């Protein structure tokens, strides 16, 4: 899982064009923002969970991706219950969970190179106008997606190291080493890009 969320496979989700999956993700995510019925959101969440199953992902692989989000959902859900009530909190949690799972399905079934090719194609008209460099935009997009799971691994490594030393992990004690590791990794990537021209 380090460096990529992609899971090789031969399912129909894997064989679907990357552009189609990204368009469906964008349209579906936008549509979900206008849905305020918990029953409809639950139906969408169940459908996306079935897509995760069809993609061939195990429960452990899904949990690795969702684990950092669980506490955030608890906190946001609690705040929403306190400020807006149970039904709006349920609506928000279902919407966020569905969006994250849908993005995970696309990441798990689409190689990063294919997604970068879609970005290059999308940026083509803007490149012809001289507004952007499509290859650089695609590279930035690819690096961002590649580093997301790596940041999760780094966070877990720091947490385990602090527990092994008998320390109680906290946002402050984990935030500083996480920042330093991330900056060091960014420097390594920048040097590698410069070395390759």
Q: For tokens 């990063």, what's the residue?
A: 112
| Conformational region of residue 7, where left means phi above 0, alpha means psi within -120 to 50, and beta covers everything else | beta
Instruction: Decide: pTM greater than 0.75.
Output: no
The token duo for 2 is 């380090």
The pLDDT of residue 95 is 92
The token duo for 117 is 């090719």
The pLDDT of residue 24 is 93
Calpha distance 66→89 (Å, rounded): 19
Name the residue range of residue 145's domain. Answer: 111-197
Calpha distance 82→92 (Å, rounded): 13
Collapsing DSSP states into helix, strand and coil, what is residue 11? coil
Per-residue pLDDT tens listing for the chain (197 residues):
344 578 888 889 999 999 999 999 999 999 999 988 889 999 999 999 999 989 888 888 787 777 767 777 777 888 888 888 888 888 888 998 999 899 889 988 999 889 989 999 999 999 999 898 888 888 878 777 777 767 777 777 888 888 888 888 777 777 788 888 888 877 777 776 677 65
Last residue of a domain, one of 110, 145, 178: 110
Q: Are residues 8 and 83 in the same domain?
A: yes
Q: How many domains does the chain have?
A: 2
Q: Are residues 104 and 115 in the same domain?
A: no
Q: Are residues 137 and 191 in the same domain?
A: yes
Q: Are residues 79 and 158 in the same domain?
A: no
Last residue of a domain, one of 110, 125, 158: 110
Other Cβ atoms less than 10 A from the Cβ of 18: the count is: 20
Q: Are residues 78 and 136 in the same domain?
A: no
Write out the DSSP string of 48-93. Answer: HHHHHHHTT--HHHHHHHHHHHHHHHHHHHHHHHHHH-HHHHHHHH
Calpha distance 98→32 (Å, rounded): 9
In eight-state DSSP terms, residue 45 is H
Q: Are residues 89 and 124 in the same domain?
A: no
Last residue of a domain, one of 110, 141, 175: 110
Distances (CA, A) of 184 to 67, 158, 161: 25, 15, 18
The pLDDT of residue 197 is 57
**Sign of the CA dihedral running 181, 182, 187, 188:** positive
Nearest residue to 144 via CA among 11, 4, 9: 4
Calpha distance 95→188 (Å, rounded): 37
């Amino acid at each position: 899982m380090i460096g990529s969320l992609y899971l090789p496979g031969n399912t129909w989700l894997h064989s679907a064009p990357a552009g189609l999956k990204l368009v469906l993700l964008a349209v579906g995510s936008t549509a979900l923002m206008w849905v305020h019925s918990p029953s409809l959101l639950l139906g969408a969440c169940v459908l996306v969970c079935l897509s995760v199953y069809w993609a061939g992902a195990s429960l452990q692989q899904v949990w690795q991706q969702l684990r950092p989000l669980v506490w955030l959902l608890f906190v946001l859900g609690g705040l929403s219950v306190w400020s807006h009530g149970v039904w709006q909190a349920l609506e928000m949690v279902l919407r966020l969970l569905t969006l994250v799972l849908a993005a995970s399905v696309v990441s798990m079934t689409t190689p990063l190179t294919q997604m970068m090719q879609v970005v290059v194609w999308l940026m083509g008209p803007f490149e012809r106008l001289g507004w952007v460099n499509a290859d650089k935009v695609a590279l930035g997009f690819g690096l961002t997606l590649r580093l997301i799971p790596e940041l999760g691994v780094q966070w877990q490594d720091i947490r385990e190291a602090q527990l092994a030393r008998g320390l109680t992990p906290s946002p402050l004690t984990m935030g500083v080493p996480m920042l330093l590791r991330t900056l060091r990794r960014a420097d390594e990537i920048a040097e590698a890009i410069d070395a390759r021209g």
